[in-house]
């Protein structure tokens, strides 16, 4: 699952009111990765929405950066935020289960117990925005174009689809090359259905500013590349009354305004230029939101509890090239990062140190391997560091005063043991003469204040590191082509990891430009454990396999871990209603709505611009 990207184990069943007859039909509207879906076939709406939420009003959001393409399916260009609102997928995920999908374009699904194939029965009412029906031909076209011309992620995601065929105009069957990829029916449920008739004669691999044809709850109303994009709710949206859509997409228009500077964007929010901001900068959260509007309750500053898996974030080391092809270097440079100092002096003590690729969840590897996890790792004992079996991995910390000096001494010793020595003040390899020099590539100036103290500590290790900040376009080009030594990066993780882990860490993607295997992880052990994650046939087996994978990645030292938040920190104008229940993943603005009384009060106070 992508950050969000499983059918009860049962005999082959089907759903739909179509003419195909099968033995022992057992309608199913949903698929769960493990066990049964939470919501039964007669559910009216998800628990975390308000089914009576009023429709209407205009929502304005903001982002720092820009966009130059309306094609979100390729690695070229920068697509705008919100573009996914235009596209319906075969099925849609619930936000209060680890990994379950429910009917959308596909009103029904069938799969055998071994999940070696899946059939989707399309809703005959499904339509694109031009009123053209969505058919099996569109589904087959979507899979083919994404696998052959889309971003590398799609080739990895759908690699195990061996055959795709239309059984009739509204029925599609996918046959797999393996029966060991148990989440593949769900992964295919995430397939966006693209209009074949609209793409005929057009180059899918190129960026475009021609508004695409979609099928989702919103369409593009207006835009200016790099400045703003406005979506309008489709009033005759074909799926509006489906249980999976009730209570969602309540705003008549959603506009994203783009700013070039984060400070300007914060001031624009306080001036009423837009409505809602998720604040990721600790200093801004602590100091920037003050004044009469906040005191009067017109502007709300609120932290919402978040129980989802924390992102993986840190300084990623490119193991494809020196100096980080040396594991001793990767381990040593982590000792120069002083998280505790940064947290107290830069971040107002608001962060938690990241130590796992799946922090804040049961998936994180802790302690030492035992039980089923130990049994899973035992065959690889001679291929992984021995410490993996005897020590709990933890990134170096500096809880005690002066501990950074001890950490630096430890880092120096690791380097010396690996054949490095100081020459003219720079750490140099005794055999190759290579100097410990590298660049830290950034695109956000806010991260520079974290990187510069790290550079100063690295100097005490004899490492000569420089910080380079580039614009977004150059940053993405260099990252996509792996043209960096160290880069600040983040991966969003899932409560139910699966096929996306291939794109993150597998040998097959280590040399594929545009993949998210930024570190260049290429290990038979990691490859084998990823497949264990993908083939897990119970939640218990999945947790075991993910912990084993996490543990091996921890001891690979591909990352200098940063930190994560335990809450969603939101600042918004008090014009919204929101559901009584919040999903474990936290609040989502697309489940909110404009409260007419609150909105009128703000307008009477003169704090909102006309919209």
Q: What are the tens digits of pLDDT across the range 92-108? A: 999 999 999 999 999 99
Q: How far apart are alpha carbons 355 and 342 in whole angstroms? A: 16
Report residue 89's pLDDT band, with 50, 70 and 90 as the boundaries. very high
**Residue 402 falls in which region: left (phi positive, over 0), alpha (psi -120 to 50) or beta:** left
Tokens of 553: 């990645």
Percent of the chain whose predicted confidence (pLDDT) is above 90:
85
User: How high is the pLDDT of residue 39?
Assistant: 97
More confident residue, 127 or 307: 127
User: How high is the pLDDT of residue 44?
Assistant: 97
Report residue 7's pLDDT band, with 50, 70 and 90 as the boundaries. very low
Contact 346, 283 (CB under 8 A): yes
In this structure, what DSSP letter does residue 89 have? Answer: B
User: How high is the pLDDT of residue 398?
Assistant: 84
Task: Provide CB contacts within 8 A for 419, sequence distance 6+.
Answer: 429, 430, 431
Q: How far apart are alpha carbons 109 and 106 in whole angstroms? A: 7
User: How high is the pLDDT of residue 8?
Assistant: 26
Question: In the predicted model, is pLDDT for residue 609 greater than 70?
Answer: no
User: How high is the pLDDT of residue 611?
Assistant: 58
Domains belonging to the chain, first-starting first, are 1-261 (3.40.190.10), 312-564 (3.10.105.10)
Q: What are the tens digits of pLDDT across the range 138-195? A: 999 999 999 999 999 899 889 999 999 999 999 999 999 999 999 999 999 999 999 9
More confident residue, 437 or 4: 437
Q: What are the tens digits of pLDDT across the range 19-59? A: 333 433 354 899 999 999 999 999 999 999 999 999 999 99
Chain centroid to Cα 439, Å, comes to: 26
Q: What are the tens digits of pLDDT across the range 471-516? A: 888 999 999 999 999 999 999 998 899 999 999 999 999 999 999 9
User: How high is the pLDDT of residue 445?
Assistant: 85
Q: How far apart are alpha carbons 359 and 307 in whole angstroms? A: 10
Q: Facing residues of 136 across strands?
A: none
Q: What are the tens digits of pLDDT across the range 218-247? A: 999 999 999 999 999 999 999 999 999 999
């Amino acid at each position: 699952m992508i950050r969000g990207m499983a059918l009860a184990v049962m005999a082959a069943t089907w759903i739909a009111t179509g003419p195909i007859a099968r033995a022992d039909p057992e309608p199913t509207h949903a698929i769960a990765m493990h066990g049964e879906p939470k919501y039964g076939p007669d559910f009216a709406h998800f628990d975390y929405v308000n089914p009576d939420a009023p429709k209407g009003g205009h929502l304005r959001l903001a982002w720092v950066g820009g966009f130059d393409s309306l094609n979100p399916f390729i690695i070229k260009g920068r697509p705008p935020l919100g573009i996914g609102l235009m596209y319906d997928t075969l099925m849609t995920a619930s936000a209060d289960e680890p990994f379950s999908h429910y009917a959308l374009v596909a009103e029904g699904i069938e799969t055998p117990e071994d999940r070696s194939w899946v059939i989707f029965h399309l809703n005959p009412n499904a339509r694109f925005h031009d009123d053209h029906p969505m058919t099996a031909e569109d589904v087959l076209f979507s899979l083919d174009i994404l696998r052959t011309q889309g971003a590398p992620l799609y080739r990895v995601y759908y690699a195990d689809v061996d055959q795709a065929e239309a059984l009739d105009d509204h029925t599609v069957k996918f046959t797999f090359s393996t029966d060991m990829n148990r989440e593949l029916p769900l992964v295919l449920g995430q397939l966006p259905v693209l209009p074949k008739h609209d793409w005929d004669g057009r180059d899918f691999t190129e960026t475009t500013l021609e508004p695409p044809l979609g099928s989702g709850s919103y369409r593009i109303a207006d835009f200016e590349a790099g400045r703003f994009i406005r979506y309008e709710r489709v009033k005759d949206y074909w799926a509006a009354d489906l249980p999976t859509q009730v209570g969602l997409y309540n705003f008549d228009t959603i506009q994203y305004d783009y700013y070039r500077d984060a400070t300007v964007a914060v001031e624009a929010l306080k001036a009423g230029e837009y409505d809602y901001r998720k604040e990721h900068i600790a200093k801004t959260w602590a100091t920037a939101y003050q004044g009469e509007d906040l005191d009067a309750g017109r502007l709300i500053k609120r932290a919402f509890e978040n129980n989802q898996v924390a992102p993986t974030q840190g300084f990623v080391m490119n193991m494809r090239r020196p100096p980080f092809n040396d594991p001793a270097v990767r381990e040593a440079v982590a000792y120069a990062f002083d998280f505790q100092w940064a947290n107290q002096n830069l971040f107002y003590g608001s962060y938690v140190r990241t130590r796992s690729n799946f922090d804040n969840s049961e998936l994180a590897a802790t302690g030492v391997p035992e039980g089923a996890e130990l049994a899973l790792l035992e065959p690889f004992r001679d291929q992984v560091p021995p410490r993996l079996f005897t020590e709990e991995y933890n990134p170096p910390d500096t809880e005690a005063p002066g501990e950074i000096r001890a950490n630096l001494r430890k880092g120096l010793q690791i380097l010396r043991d690996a054949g490095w020595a100081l020459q003219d003040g720079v750490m140099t390899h005794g055999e190759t003469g290579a100097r410990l020099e590298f660049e830290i590539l950034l695109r956000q100036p806010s991260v520079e204040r974290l990187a510069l103290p790290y550079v100063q500590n690295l100097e005490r290790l004899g490492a000569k590191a420089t910080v380079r900040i580039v614009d977004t376009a150059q940053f993405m080009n260099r990252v996509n082509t792996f043209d960096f030594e160290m880069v600040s990066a983040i991966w969003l993780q899932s409560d139910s990891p699966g096929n996306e882990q291939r794109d993150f860490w597998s040998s097959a993607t280590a040399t594929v430009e545009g993949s998210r295997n930024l570190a260049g992880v290429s290990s038979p052990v990691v490859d084998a454990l990823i497949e264990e994650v993908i083939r897990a046939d119970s939640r218990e087996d999945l947790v075991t396999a993910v912990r084993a994978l996490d543990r091996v990645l921890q001891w690979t030292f591909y990352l200098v871990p940063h930190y994560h938040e335990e809450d969603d920190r939101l600042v918004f104008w008090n014009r919204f209603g929101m559901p009584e229940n919040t999903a474990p993943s936290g609040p989502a603005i697309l489940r909110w709505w404009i409260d007419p009384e609150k909105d009128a009060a703000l307008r009477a106070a003169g704090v909102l611009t006309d919209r």
